[in-house]
Amino acid sequence: MTTPGEVFKEGDCLLVIDVQNDFCPGGALAIDDGDAVVPVMNRYIDAALKQNIPVYLSRDWHPSGHVSFTEAGGQWPPHCVQDTHGAQFHPDLKVPETAMVVTKGVRFDKDQNSAFDETGLAHKLNRDGIRRVVVGGLALDVCVQATVQDALSVGPCEFHRSRRAVAASLCAGYPRGAVPPGFEGPGNRHGCNQGRAFRQGPELGL
């Protein structure tokens, strides 16, 4: 079995997707056993730091009454509202002082499932010479999938040609049927809404 330390190589970065209280048990938009990703991601974070691999953490950071919320005609219950407990990273997640936080979901007119959606992350990774992104977190069938797709397709031409995204470690997704029927996110389009959908172990090349 591949260990976290064996995954990383020069030119990589680690991108931890939305490991926030509202997506974990007891949260407003909880994933069953979503907090099970925390110890696995911590091992990847430790390995990345030991190898001087940059760590990024994305977070949903919605304004109150966000367009994606059901109260505003959207598809999701209110979650990860700015400066609330639900929007905070899980308390057991290791957040390095050197980690860079990618904030998304802040627009008033649209949702941003991908960590690359109008955040400038592609520009940052290209500028820093990152050639591969190792991705894990929550939720597999929504924000993780959207981020991986964008990692493979967005940015300048050299990003298209050379960047690869790897779904590493363990991700958790919503149970079948939990994603709103009208949701046209990546989970629905690409058949990734496969129950709890845990994936652990060696890299999964995408």
Q: How many Å separate Cα 106 from the centre of its chain? A: 16
Question: Could you tell me the two tokens for 189?
Answer: 């389009």
Query: Which residues fall within 8 angstroms of residue 108, CB to CB, at 6 or more apart?
Result: 63, 66, 67
- Contact (Cβ atoms closer than 8 angstroms) between residue 44 and residue 136: yes
Rounded Cα distance between 203 and 206, Å, is: 9
How would you list the strands of the sheet with 100-104, edge to edge?
100-104, 55-60, 12-17, 132-138, 164-172, 204-205
Question: Could you tell me the two tokens for 203?
Answer: 């890299």
Specify the residue for token string 């304004």.
63
* Active centre residues (catalytic): 18, 104, 143
